[in-house]
Structure formats: structure tokens, C-alpha cells
């Protein structure tokens, strides 16, 4: 039992905590959530009808330590009148920064270079050895110019990007700041030297990047995904990378997570895979955690949440 003080209210809560960095096993979650009024979860916890039924009618708030909410069965949650808290904005800078790092690492072949230094492959300076692609004078296409997409564009422009294309459900006034051109997806894919995916995962973005998509990209283009793994058809991406249809890919997100060490994508030199670390700075995770706790408390006391998802 714990006393939590927030603003003027003293809240007495019974806390059931999965005290580990590892995900809570499903059976433990189903058992632990019974009769709870609030649930704090991670993006690795699938909150579906089974969990909601296990929780029962007391549940009035779910607070997730993430901005993405594709792990939550929103229709079921809405039907039950449950409020949802999430963590937009506070992770935007960290995620945009990681996306730029991944793009540069992929385009300039940094992991390959590091490996060559370690394994003795570095014989001498050679004119074409480990050449990659630069941003200067390039066309960058951002799929989903939301909070993170715009922050990525802001960071990429000073590298000398010539054209910044973007696509989404509607044009964005804030795109002016980065001279963004709103174009159909087809144009973006065909004309971009760097395709950066930063949209949310929803039914219309599931498997958006498939065989047809990759077949339209230039052979010299780089594909970067820091949104969700399911936006990409990974078999089609493997085919595009191994056949030379596209130059390289950098992924911070995969399906499944973790990606099995035997996965074909991991055999490719032109595919850089990171373990979903977009928001992983100490300070960002600290702020995300505090926001997630405060969203939960606000939901429990029926007050205004610092960041409530509009359902």
C-alpha cells in the first residue's frame, strides 16, 4: 500500500507492480489487473479485450509509457469509457535525433566500417571503398509529418537537403518551416533519395511499405523506419535489399521485437537494425515515466490529464 501525493489530493492506492525491466508475462498481467482502477503499461503489453475483461468494470484509466498506442485496442477501450494517457512531445527530440543518427549510419555505412576496422578488412585508403550516400543536395521524403516527422525534417534541412517532400492524410501548415512539399505517396517514393517513415501504425499504414512501394524507389535510395515494424513488409524489404532494388535500410523497429538473431535481414550488410531505442536517453525516459505516472493519477482522481489521448 502506498500514499501518493499530487497537487492537493492525497490518494491511497494499492499498487501491484511488476518490478522488472523485462515485460510482464501475459498470465501475470491477466491476474494482476483484476479489479484494478488504473493500469500503467508499456508498448510491449498488448491491452486487448481479454485484458480489459480480466480487469473488470472498475478500470477507468490506462496510462502507457509511449506516444504510440497501436498496442491498445482503442475501440474496446472507448466502448468501456476508459480514459487513456500517453507521452507525446516529451520524446520527440530524442526520437528525431536517433532517426538522424540511424540515417547517417546507414547512408555512410558506419557499422560496416567499424566492423572492417575490427576484423582487419582495413588494408589501406581506397578510392571507392565503403562509399555511401550524402544528404547534401538530396531529396528527403518524410512519411507522416507529425511531431516527430517535423522534428526530423528540421534536423535534416541544415545538412543541405534540396527538397523536402512529405505525405500524410492532409497538408500541414507547419511544413512551411522546412519548405516541405505535400505530395502523393507515389511521388514521394519515386523522387526521394531518403525515405523516412515516421507515421503512426494504423490499419491504413499497416504494410504500407511493401513490394510495390520498394519497386518504385530509386536503386540508390535509403529507407529509414523509426515508427513501427508493422508498417513494413519485411519479406519484401529483404528482397528489395538483397536484389539491389534499393541501396540500404535502417530500422529502429521490427516485427517481431526482438528480431530473432537468425532473421534474414540481419545477414545483410546494407541493413542496419537497432533495438527500438528512439526515445532511449536517460532524461527522456525520466520525463516519460513522470508523465505516465501523472496521467495515471489524474485518471484515477478524475481530473485533467497532462496528456490525454482523444478517443
| 8 Å CB contact between 175 and 117 | no
- Grid cell 511544413 in the structure block, residue: 175
Binding mask 193-232 for ligand NDP (x = CB under 6 A): -----xxxxx-xx--------------------xxx----
Query: Per CB under 6 A, does 91 bind ligand DGY?
Result: yes
Report yes or no: 274 and 252 within 8 Å, Cβ to Cβ. Answer: yes
End-to-end, the C-alpha distance of the chain in Å comes to: 31
Task: Kindly write out the interface string for residues 135-154 of this chain, putting x where it contacts ligand NDP by CB under 6 A and - elsewhere.
Answer: --------xxxxxxx-----
Binding to ligand NDP, residues 11-50 (CB under 6 A): none
Count of residues interacting with ligand NDP (CB under 6 A): 31
Residue nearest to ligand DGY according to CB distances in the complex: 68
Residues 238-277 that bind ligand NDP (CB under 6 A): 252-253, 276
Site for ligand DGY in 262-291 (CB under 6 A): 278-279
167 binds ligand NDP (CB under 6 A): yes
Which residues neighbour 218 within 8 Å (Cβ) at sequence distance 6 or greater? 190, 192, 193, 246
d(C-alpha 270, C-alpha 224), whole Å: 12
Using CB distances below 5 to 8 A depending on partner kind, what does residue 295 bind out of ligand NDP, ligand DGY, none? none
Contact 69, 86 (CB under 8 A): yes
Binding mask 282-311 for ligand NDP (x = CB under 6 A): ------------------------------
With CA atoms as reference, report the closest residue to 108 among 226, 238, 248: 248
For 191, phi then psi, to 5°, come to -100, -10
Which option in ligand NDP, ligand DGY, none does residue 85 bind, with CB closer than 5 to 8 A by kind?
none
Q: How many CB atoms lie within 10 A of CB 13?
A: 15
140-179 residues near ligand DGY, rule: CB under 6 A? none
Q: From the CB of 43, what's the least distance to ligand DGY, in Å? A: 5
Strands 83-85 and 139-143: unpaired
Beta bridge partners of 250: 224, 272
- Residue 141, binding choice from ligand NDP, ligand DGY, none, Cβ under 5 to 8 Å by partner class: none
Pairing of strands 194-197, 139-143: parallel
Closest distance between ligand DGY and the C-beta of residue 243, in Å? 30
From 3, 71, 263, 276, the catalytic residue? 276
- Contact between 66 and ligand DGY (CB under 6 A)? yes
CA dihedral over 88, 90, 93, 96, signed as positive or negative: negative
Interface region with ligand NDP, contact rule CB under 6 A, candidates 2-10, 12-20, 162-170, 239-247: 162-170
Contacting ligand DGY (CB under 6 A), which of 67, 178, 251, 298? Answer: 67
Segment interacting with ligand DGY, rule: CB under 6 A, options 24-32, 62-70, 216-224, 292-300: 62-70
Given a contact cutoff of 8 angstroms between Cβ atoms, the answer to whether 40 and 63 are in contact is yes
Residue 43 binds: one of ligand NDP, ligand DGY, none (C-beta under 5 to 8 A by kind): ligand DGY
Q: Which residues contact 262 (CB under 8 A, 6 or more apart)?
A: none
Using DSSP's 3-state secondary structure scheme, residue 72 falls into strand
- Bridge partners for 3 per DSSP: 12
Least separation in angstroms between residue 156's CB and ligand NDP is: 15
Known catalytic residue at 37: no
- Interface residue list for ligand DGY (CB under 6 A): 43, 66-68, 91, 278-279
By annotation, the residues acting in catalysis are: 276
Amino acid at each position: 500500500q502506498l500514499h501518493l501525493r499530487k497537487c492537493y489530493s492525497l490518494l491511497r492506492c494499492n499498487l501491484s507492480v511488476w518490478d522488472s525491466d523485462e515485460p510482464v508475462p501475459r498470465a501475470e498481467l491477466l491476474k494482476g489487473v483484476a479489479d484494478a482502477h488504473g493500469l500503467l503499461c508499456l508498448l510491449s503489453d498488448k491491452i486487448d479485450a481479454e485484458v480489459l475483461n480480466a480487469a473488470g468494470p472498475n478500470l477507468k484509466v490506462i496510462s502507457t509509457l509511449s506516444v504510440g498506442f497501436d498496442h491498445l485496442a482503442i475501440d474496446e477501450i472507448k466502448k468501456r469509457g476508459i480514459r487513456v494517457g500517453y507521452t507525446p512531445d516529451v520524446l520527440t527530440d530524442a526520437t528525431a535525433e536517433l532517426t538522424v543518427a540511424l540515417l547517417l549510419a546507414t547512408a555512410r555505412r558506419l557499422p560496416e566500417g567499424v566492423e572492417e576496422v575490427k576484423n582487419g578488412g582495413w588494408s589501406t585508403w581506397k578510392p571507392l571503398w565503403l562509399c555511401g550516400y550524402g544528404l547534401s543536395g538530396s531529396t528527403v521524403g518524410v512519411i507522416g509529418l507529425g511531431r516527430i516527422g517535423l522534428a526530423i525534417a528540421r534536423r535534416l534541412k541544415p545538412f543541405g537537403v534540396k527538397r523536402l517532400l512529405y505525405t500524410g492524410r492532409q497538408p500541414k501548415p507547419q511544413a512551411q518551416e522546412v519548405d516541405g512539399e505535400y505530395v502523393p505517396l507515389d511521388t514521394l517514393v519515386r523522387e526521394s533519395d531518403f525515405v523516412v517513415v515516421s507515421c503512426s501504425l494504423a490499419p491504413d499504414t499497416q504494410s504500407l511499405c511493401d513490394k510495390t512501394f520498394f519497386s518504385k524507389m530509386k536503386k540508390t535510395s535509403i529507407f529509414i523506419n523509426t515508427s513501427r515494424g508493422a508498417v513494413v513488409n519485411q519479406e519484401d524489404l529483404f528482397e528489395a535489399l538483397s536484389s539491389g532494388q534499393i541501396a540500404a535500410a535502417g530500422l529502429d523497429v521490427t516485427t517481431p521485437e526482438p528480431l530473432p538473431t537468425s532473421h534474414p535481414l540481419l545477414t545483410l550488410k546494407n541493413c542496419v537494425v537497432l533495438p527500438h531505442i528512439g526515445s532511449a536517453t536517460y532524461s527522456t525516459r525520466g520525463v516519460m515515466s513522470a508523465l505516465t505516472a501523472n496521467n495515471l493519477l489524474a485518471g484515477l482522481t478524475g481530473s485533467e490529464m497532462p496528456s490525454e489521448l482523444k478517443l
